[in-house]
Amino acid sequence: MGEDPSYKTRKVITIGIVSDLTGLTERQIRYYEERKLIFPERTEKGSRKYSFADVERLIEIAEKREEGVQTNEIRRDLEKVKKEDNRKARKQMLKGQINAQFGLRKG
């Protein structure tokens, strides 16, 4: 059974549960948000909501911080990964458009 991407990216987890899952304090989690390492959604009342992908990212951040990596370095690495993912997605989309234009199929 394949994973539904919306399952990991849906913002439904409260900060208290994220704290329990990651072992980080709520203050640490808010700090990583301030440093633009994670991006929770806000409810109408202002409560933060996180996804399972955010939880995984926070665990990675905590591990890197334990190794002595600074938050600005972590952010720079995350931006590199995002750019690479975007590049790969554009390349795949272009390949699909070319295949569709010329009637090529995978095989």
Report how many domains make up the chain. 1
Write out pLDDT tens, residues 40-98: 999 999 999 999 999 999 999 999 999 999 999 999 998 888 888 788 888 888 888 88
User: What integer is the mean pLDDT of 20-31?
Assistant: 97
CA distance 44 to 40: 13
107 within some domain: no
- pTM over 0.75? The answer is no
Instruction: State the CATH number of the domain containing residue 77.
Output: 1.10.1660.10
- Where does the pLDDT of residue 1 fall: very low under 50, low under 70, confident under 90, or very high at 90 and above? very low
Domain interval for residue 26: 5-102
